[in-house]
Amino acid sequence: MTEATDAGPVSFADLALRPELLSELTALGYEEPTPIQREAIPPLLAGRDLLGQAATGTGKTAAFALPILHALPERRGKEPVAVVLAPTRELAMQVSEALHRYGKALGARVLPVYGGTPIGRQLRELQRGVDVVVGTPGRVLDHLNRGTLRLQSLRVLVLDEADEMLDMGFAEDIDAILAAAPPERQTVLFSATMPPQIERVARRHLRSPERITISREPLASGATPLVRQSAYVVSRAHKPAALGRVLDVESPESAIVFCRTREEVDSLTETLNGRGYRAEALHGGLSQEQRDRVMGRLRAGTTELLVATDVAARGLDVDQLTHVVNYNVPSAAEAYVHRIGRVGRAGREGVAITLAEPREHRMLKQIERLTGQRISMEKIPTLADLRSRRLELTRAALRESLMSDSFERFRAVVEELSDEFDVMDVALAAVKLAHEASGVETDDVDIPEVAPTSPQAPRTGGGASRSGSSGSSGPPRRGPKGDTTRLYIGMGRSAGIRPQDLVGAITGESSVSGRDIGAIEIADRFSLVELPLAAADEVIAALRGTLLKGRKATVRRERHDTA
């Protein structure tokens, strides 16, 4: 059995992947393989079966997705060459989106299938031909029984989060799917835990598998670090504003903000500098000389915020850090533990802050379970909170000045003004000027409150589904401003759509204001926008009569088959 270790630097090019995949990974900002990718990709490219123990988010999706895409034949038929089974519609969508992203240059045809949605679109896509099917066991088995999914050309079958699928009662469905697959296929099984039931599945269905374990990084011996841990649930579109507001309230002396990609690092650094912070970027695109300069400014205290990727921050050791911020939920519990270990040293309290999108709430709970430490769920500070905090900082600065500074050279100014004005008014005017000089009252962004996605029990017979994931809506929910609904707009990232494009089109063509627009989610081929229910028909009519990025887009209320 192989236990992944942090060996020397390995690039994706060292793993002998196709040039098209390497180009796409570079464009996405991926700098080097994670341990699970480094260990799993070579045996998978060699055609070996694999049994991997790895928690959610360790990078295992790319670990099996890249070999699948690497092996896509030049001439493809209608039947899939790979099937990926996942426990929930949420995970099936995430895996499907990842495969589509990585395989864009190859023209990979990827179809997500899961219960709780009309089956018509899935039937049409299967008839047209697909390369990879990603789905929940119930819906995949449903297609097999209908004869609409045929596995004669299947080369790879992946069981992702196998322990969770078995816990949810999918054992019989999985057995039936494995029995229907060609015996000479490659079988890949990933599981966060290895209970006896998983071992039995592996013995029955895997052939001399390569075994890989990504061991969790243990907490340092001794007392738990003095780290106050909190998380904020916020939609992707409002993350930059939310981070700025949280930092304004926290007022860190020195902080590191972790991002996933170098593009995210550069964009966020620019945003934070525009907000008045002294922020520096650190990622693999910097030369060693540039990196040294950044680190020198951080240690000298001339930089407040370091915005970095995990890879670029390896080996970074800065004693004066007071805050660690996860701009995204970390990819694994061990990454989270490693990051927060950078603060709370030498008896000082540190602060760990995580911004989580609604669908990432489950990963936070998993981190809590694996670390045995509670992460407090907080609300994004309001504008009132922000004003109160800024007044508090002004008061603290004035108190410090009163206790330590000399004011004799200003006495004549006060005495002269006090002949004309009340001394209290003079003091209030001075406080006002000091307060405004700190750059106060620059935040007027309305950040809607969003609820975390909550798992539900699996449906019987139709595959597992989870309410509230990015492709489902259900009935309009009661939001902070009354009943809301979501609109489906048939253009997304691939068409260059950004949140500001949608907000601009809606506010410019209808009576809806920017403050009435809730969460915005942009997928590769479509977007979802939360709006007041009463305004839905007006906005639909307005957007149908206008162009987005020079094109007409399908606009309707969200249905259950948007993915």
Hey, what domains does the chain have and what are their CATH numbers? Answer: 2-213 (3.40.50.300), 227-381 (3.40.50.300), 384-437 (no CATH), 478-557 (3.30.70.330)
- pLDDT tens-digit series, residues 20-33: 999 999 888 787 88
Please give the Cα distance from 203 to 410 (Å, whole number).
Answer: 84
Among 58-62, 130-134, 504-508, whose mean pLDDT is lowest?
Answer: 504-508
- pLDDT tens-digit series, residues 219-249: 444 444 578 899 999 988 889 989 988 998 8
Mean pLDDT, all residues of the chain: 81
Specify the pLDDT at position 447. Answer: 79
Specify the pLDDT at position 210. Answer: 95
- Confidence band (pLDDT; 50, 70, 90) for 256? very high
Report the pLDDT averaged over residues 498-503.
82
Does residue 14 surpass a pLDDT of 50? yes
Tell me the whole-structure pTM to 2 decimals.
Answer: 0.46
Specify the pLDDT at position 434. Answer: 78
Report the pLDDT averaged over residues 501-512.
79
List, in sequence order, every residue forming a beta bridge with 353; answer none if it has no partner.
Answer: 230, 325
Contacts 24+ apart (CB under 8 A), 550-558: 551/491, 551/495, 553/489, 553/490, 553/491, 554/488, 554/489, 554/490, 555/487, 555/488, 555/489, 555/490, 556/487, 556/488, 557/485, 557/486, 557/487, 557/488, 558/473, 558/485, 558/486, 558/487, 558/488, 558/528
- pLDDT tens-digit series, residues 405-464: 788 888 888 888 888 888 888 888 888 887 777 654 455 566 777 766 544 333 333 333
Specify the pLDDT at position 257. Answer: 94
- pLDDT tens-digit series, residues 36-48: 999 999 999 999 9
Specify the pLDDT at position 454. Answer: 45
Does residue 123 surpass a pLDDT of 90? yes
Q: Return the higher-pLDDT residue of 127 and 438.
A: 127
Q: Containing H/E element for 334?
A: helix 333-340
Q: Return the higher-pLDDT residue of 67 and 471.
A: 67
Contacts of 80 (CB under 8 A, 6+ apart): 111, 130, 131, 132, 133, 149, 151, 153, 154
